[in-house]
Chains A and B, each alone.
Chain A
């Protein structure tokens, strides 16, 4: 059974800092990995999706990498802003593309 772990569970940084969020998974037979943002009491907003054959994806200040063989992904946020404060979730989709497993998330606080 796939297990997804996100470290750290919480992170507090001053505005302007670059930071890395980690996601690890136990079964490398994945179709893709997707990073989401969730604000308190709200739904999920997709940030980046990496196919199993890809190594990284970039969108603005965000960069996600994937090392499928070691079961790891990182989300790099450059020049963090208070508006980046949210919970960040990673999800892996199995090779049959039906089942998805989420990590518990990293709650990020960016202080002005």
Chain B
């Protein structure tokens, strides 16, 4: 089944404790993105990647890091999480050759930073 998976689905952590949220897709998509969703602010793009080793900032990259060492994986790293990074995070993937960059989303990761 074609899908985007994220782990963990729920995470409660403390300020300053480094964490990684993983994202993996099995559709051989070139493009992958991370978004955060907050009440009243909607979905905002954090980072995106157009292929292996190619990443770029979205609208809200501060406090986040990403890497794209393999085509299928695009982890989101919070080196020193803060309470304002409490949010619902989504990973998405797309491809020019399959659906004309139609975005497929993962189920989301709900992060709480205390």
Contacts and interface: CB of A to CB of B under 8 A. Distances in A.
Interface of A: 1, 31-32, 34, 36, 42-44, 46, 49, 51, 89, 91, 93, 97-105
Nearest to B100: A51
Nearest to A31: B101
Given A42-B108, A101-B45, A104-B40, 14 more contacts: A31-B101, A43-B108, A44-B105, A46-B104, A49-B99, A49-B102, A89-B42, A97-B31, A98-B50, A99-B45, A99-B56, A100-B48, A102-B43, A102-B44
Closest 4 CB pairs of A and B: A102-B43, A104-B42, A44-B105, A49-B102
Contacts of B99: 49
A5 to B, nearest CB: 11
B56 A98 contact: yes
B106 interface: yes
A32 B94 CA distance: 12
A27 B57 CA distance: 19
Contact of B100 (A32, A44, A103): A32
Size bin of chain B's contact surface? 20 to 34
Contacts of B96: 97
Q: Which of B31, B35, B96, B103 gathers most chain A CB within 10 Å?
A: B103
Nearest to B110: A41
B42 A100 contact: no
6 contacts: A32-B101, A43-B90, A44-B90, A51-B100, A97-B101, A100-B48
A97 B58 CA distance: 12
Nearest to B50: A98
Interface in B71-108: 90, 92, 94, 96, 99-108
Contacts of B92: 44
Contacts of B101: 31-32, 93, 97
